[in-house]
Amino acid sequence: MGTRTTSTSRTVRLLRARRLDDGLHSGTALSDAVRAGRMLRLRRGVYVEVSDWVRTPPWDRHLITVIATTAQEGDVVFCRESALALHGVPLLEVPDAVRRRCTSRGAARRVPAPSMTGSRSRGQVRGMLAAATGPGEPVPTETICVGLPTHRLEPTLPAGMSRSAARRAPDGGEPALPREELDASVVPWCAADVAAYVVEPLALAVVDTVPRLSFAEGVVILDAVLGGHTRSGARVEVAELAAWTDRLPSRRLRERWDRALAAADPRAESPGESWSRVRLDELGFELPELQSRIDVEDRTYWVDVEWLGAGIAGEFDGGMKYTRAARLSGQDPSQVVYAEKIREDAIRSTGRDMVRWGWAELRHPERLARLLVVHGVPRPRAAGR
């Protein structure tokens, strides 16, 4: 688990098998590189260097596989989490498949990924991963080389249209798929010789995805798109979302959608903040004010949350903001940490207490509950009520 808003700082290059000028085919050399442990096969004819794959965060490995699918298949309309990832929407969990649309019932299925490592044994794969890992870095397990399948899904349908009617497209053609193109620059760190990605409109992708995920995952997505906290800055309005809700095929999905939308708050600026709010409610704690302003003499500070009546400020600490801030400002990380201590001391000088938590506490809510109780955060009801 980790923040989903930061992509790799490396340029990841995907290589496609193709016929060369001398009449030979590069696929032969690329297949040899897979057997030698230098490359991995993402999709048929699409490869990536082992070191690039190993050093890329898991949520971006999903995105790389989405891009590899475009490189292999061309005009593919991505949907659900894969469309959201291309739109730049942060996701709380790494998707378990690349999701795309298809236009026939026979094509709707999960297609297994090709073997990323060819015929190499588990021992050979472990040795390959060790060679690709930097000094002092933990060597990942061989499961990192298990590719993502492709989940082909039939289109969403407007209210009143049956699946059989949708399959009977006019003039024997294919049913229309809502789509838009995103320039390849939306993923600037991946070089793949792809001009554009085809995705479902952002609002449709959100409506189709949110009620099928956990409540926390849905709130994370809605907070991000309503507040414009996406990689591209794209945002949607509630009215845009409402225009697609007739495509939810069941009462259960509509109820799950309504619940997540009611809990969304565009002021939350990161997935961790969004999940924190869900956890606080689950644990029975009073919900705080978001993005609270605190004035100390001639300085203004903003904190993630504040329990105004209790005099307690709180912040989600994703563990990456210090190194990211240091990289952007050019400061040494220790300077960034010291500046944060000065900031926290200033906030405490107003008489407020300060409480911090991170991914570990969100994954283990009992730890978060103990921490908040120690700091006196109001808890008007028991967990789960």
Give the pairing of strands 312-316 and 353-357: parallel
* Model pLDDT for residues 67-116, shown as the tens digit of each residue: 999 999 988 999 999 999 999 999 999 999 999 999 888 899 999 999 99
Mean pLDDT of 227-233: 93
Name the residue among 131, 88, 135 with its Cα closest to residue 232.
88
Does position 193 have pLDDT exceeding 80, yes or no?
A: yes
Type of residue found at 183: D
Mean pLDDT of 277-289: 97
Does position 123 have pLDDT exceeding 80, yes or no?
A: yes
Specify the DSSP element, H or E, that contains 218: helix 215-227
318-334: burial string, b at 16+ Cβ within 10 Å, e else: beebbebbbeeeeeeee
Contact between 66 and 86 (Cβ < 8 Å): yes
pLDDT of residue 75: 86
**Paired tokens of 214:** 């956990």
* Model pLDDT for residues 13-50, shown as the tens digit of each residue: 999 997 655 544 567 889 999 999 999 999 999 999 99
Tell me how far apart the alpha carbons of residues 156 and 204 are, in angstroms, rounded to a whole number: 9
Tell me how far apart the alpha carbons of residues 220 and 108 are, in angstroms, rounded to a whole number: 28
CA atoms within 13 A on the CB side of 183: 3
pLDDT of residue 334: 67
Does position 306 have pLDDT exceeding 70, yes or no?
A: yes
Mean pLDDT of 240-246: 97
Q: What is the pTM of this model?
A: 0.89
CA atoms within 13 A on the CB side of 62: 23
Contact between 100 and 150 (Cβ < 8 Å): yes
pLDDT of residue 25: 53
Tell me how far apart the alpha carbons of residues 364 and 380 are, in angstroms, rounded to a whole number: 21
The percentage of residues in the chain with a pLDDT greater than 90, rounded to a whole number, is: 76
**Paired tokens of 241:** 């979302």
* Model pLDDT for residues 353-374, shown as the tens digit of each residue: 999 999 999 999 999 999 999 9
Tell me how far apart the alpha carbons of residues 65 and 193 are, in angstroms, rounded to a whole number: 14
Tell me how far apart the alpha carbons of residues 291 and 102 are, in angstroms, rounded to a whole number: 42
Type of residue found at 328: L
Does position 335 have pLDDT exceeding 90, yes or no?
A: no
**Number of residues that make up the chain:** 385
pLDDT of residue 252: 97
* Model pLDDT for residues 128-182, shown as the tens digit of each residue: 999 999 888 899 999 999 999 999 999 998 877 776 666 665 544 455 789 999 9
pLDDT of residue 1: 37
pLDDT of residue 332: 63
